[in-house]
Structure 1
């Protein structure tokens, strides 16, 4: 019988438990700055770090505590971040641009490891690889073939693991094999963000929390930002709000789809059980359209299990029990253990499943990481800072791609509940059909 006591469950991210006290930050914004960054997640902090080190007077504004959003609420999994295949991208943008876009994902993955090492960040970064599990035999055949194609055409290291050998990668019989991506990685997202914040402050950035931007206008001298703590003027503005983009910038809000992603953390588990569940310490995901993702905690004692649990956004006191049920379907061994944390954060999808970056209305922006943004948000944040500094290396293959929206969409994803419900039904039917066929 489960030991879960949901009334005692914490609803703050597990990552915050052992995080040291944040550095002292100013209460008030500067009246003028060379660069104002709106949003203090990975994108914003990397952009600020770059411009501050480049000699620009840089200020970061956030409506909440710095890092309050998904940068400290995600699962700490790092992939190549580019979801569409080379073939799909080639059909949209031509083969040369498609290859360049795909390459940016690989570049971002390698770059973040180099950055963490070169800056000496203490954030539990590990290149432990991903096991991407197939929830039906047909999906295994598809991703196994895709792994061969990726290795042959893009040089991406990947290899298939059939169901008969699955237990060497994952202590579950719920799947039908999978593919391992050895270069994928894990990180403690809150410690990583805290490190970024410290670096930006050391570089001279002025970071102010609880200072929401409520209006942006322009005059002859640059930008005028109205905030809840007074008016601010800036030569350049960087928008780094991702899943928390508001109507202050309606063009951007119409191009990102905010989606809640929900996670639970188990109580500390016996080491022998953890070794059974994650024998290679891989991070994990699956081929369901409404994907599950999970991993061990950095100390190897807990399972952190995330996904989308309902068609509509919900409270973490409701999502927690649902995630627990899903987790125990994959890992029946966990049914007698407790859960200590249940939390959520908002990611941002786009209508073409690509991150987007560029300049609109004179403002630099990067957003829409589609749930795989740890490396890409960081990488594009750095590139934004380089763009502001006028450096040629700021250019990326994702710059100024067509950035689609939909008629009547203004930032409220009214279509999402029906879409998620449809995908969940499809996933359930496929899984049940596969189980019935043995």
Structure 2
């Protein structure tokens, strides 16, 4: 389908829909202290959750960000929360043994349980909902595979789900494009910008100093700890945490070689009739599909818009170009939306890893957690929290992800030169599979 030239409203915004209606952020200091106990690079979910824990432990904590706090993917994602661990139990067992594999898989469930409890206990108003996810099959063969895998996970891991045939699909999702799917009943959603703003407020209330527009250019280690060179002067720290995920730079070359930044693009439609949205999402679940280049979408928390995300080009592109392409894909799935345009088109960088696992550990004394593979809302928060606990020397901070082998590839330095060809291949394969299934 050729993207419509009028798919975007004339005054569309290239900023995240989630930021609309939020009050202005608090004022941040323009200066940094000379010395702190803990310096954290990155003010997203990982960094702020780590900061909350170190501040609770009595450590003087400073969070630094190259942009305004929250400018990255923590306010630009789709607000969908899964159990976060992509490799199956069988695959992980082959690599790490059955016991470690089960522990890694359980961390995904633990992270989801934890973020629900945390937001409730901290009083963070972020529209958290255990709505469940409909994971749609783009071919009949994929439906059979999804149903088998779901049954295996129910029996082996206790993961709640049920299969939905194509005949019953409209009870879950208002489209005829897919060939059934699986509902994961425990998956959840939230408003990512409200959640981030709540984390920021909690950190500031605990005395964390947060400074934006303060790029860190160097981390040097000495006998007393670390000295960070920043755009606003040097700061000494006993401990350093790097929490940059998809925005990791040559500040930490070793980490940059181990994450693959990938742009994820999203649009938000103009306000829609509520009965239309309710017909497309009759159970108000979040949704995704089984394509290799996955689409993910949902109704807005107030039930007035559709938010539709995915990757629509082989290489990174401008959101004014990605928006019409996403709109065309959205209309292919939901033809009822063909008469409505998008008011927002934006993107954010997620970070994949070569083994499809999140990683946390210490390298040359610098602590880190990153590489959430597109499932970072709960896992970034959870591993950030645990990282803060570890920094304070607490045994509770240990996780099944600690010190897993963290692979890279020869000649890879952080620029994913291979990504355009890989995405183009997978998009072509998805398209062919769609066409064969529809024939």
| TM-score interval (norm. to shorter) | over 0.9
Q: What's the counterpart of residue 272 of structure 2?
A: 269
1:24 shift after superposition? 1.7
Displacement after TM superposition at 1:275 (Å): 1.1
Q: How does 1:282-297 map to 2 (within 5 A)?
A: 282-297=285-300
Alpha-carbon shift at residue 63 of structure 1 (Å): 0.2
- In structure 2, the residue matched to 1:30 is 33
Q: Secondary structure at the match of 2:13?
A: coil
Q: 1:81-108: per-residue Cα shift (whole Å, max 9, x none)?
A: 0000001111111111000000000000
State the alpha-carbon separation in 1 of the partners of residues 172 and 337 from structure 2. 17
Deviation at 1:7, TM superposition (A): 3.5
Aligned to 1:158: 161
Aligned residue number for residue 97 of structure 1: 100
Q: Is the CA contact (8 Å cut-off) linking 2:331 and 2:337 kept in structure 1? A: yes
* Equivalent residue number for residue 384 of structure 2: 381
Counterpart contact for 1:45–1:200, Cα < 8 Å: yes
Q: Is contact 2:217–2:228 with CA below 8 Å preserved after alignment?
A: yes
Q: Which blocks of at least 5 consecutive residues in structure 1 are unaligned?
A: none
Alpha-carbon contact 1:108-1:376 (below 8 Å) kept: yes
The answer on 1:193 being equivalent to 2:193 is no
Kindly state the Cα deviation for residue 2 of structure 1 after the two structures are TM-superposed: 8.8
1:314 aligned residue = 317
Render the CA deviation track for 1:384-420: whole Å, top value 9, x for unaligned. Answer: 0000110001000000000000000000000000000
Q: Deviations over 1:35-94 (max 9, x none)?
A: 000000000000000000110000000000001000000000000000000011111111
Quick one: distance in 1 between partners of 2:374 and 2:295?
11
1:86 aligns with 2:89: yes
Q: Where has structure 1 moved over 4 Å in runs of 4 or more?
A: none
Partner residue, 2:427: 424
| 8 Å Cα contact 2:9-2:341 kept in structure 1 | no
2-structure distance, mates of 1:160, 1:30:
55
Partners in 1 of 2:160 and 2:139 — Cα distance?
Answer: 23
Q: Is the 8 A contact 2:47 2:384 kept in 1?
A: yes
| Equivalent residues in 2 for 1:10-409, closer than 5 Å | 10-409=13-412
Q: Over aligned residues, Cα RMSD in angstroms?
A: 0.9
Deviation at 1:338, TM superposition (A): 1.4
**Offset at residue 5 of structure 1 (A):** 4.0
Contact 1:240 / 1:365 at 8 angstroms: preserved in 2? yes
> How far does residue 350 in structure 1 lie from its aligned partner after superposition?
0.1
TM-score, normalised to structure 1, is 0.99
Residue correspondences, number: 436
Does the 8 A contact of 2:92 with 2:101 survive in 1?
yes
Q: Is the 8 A contact 2:53 2:385 kept in 1?
A: yes
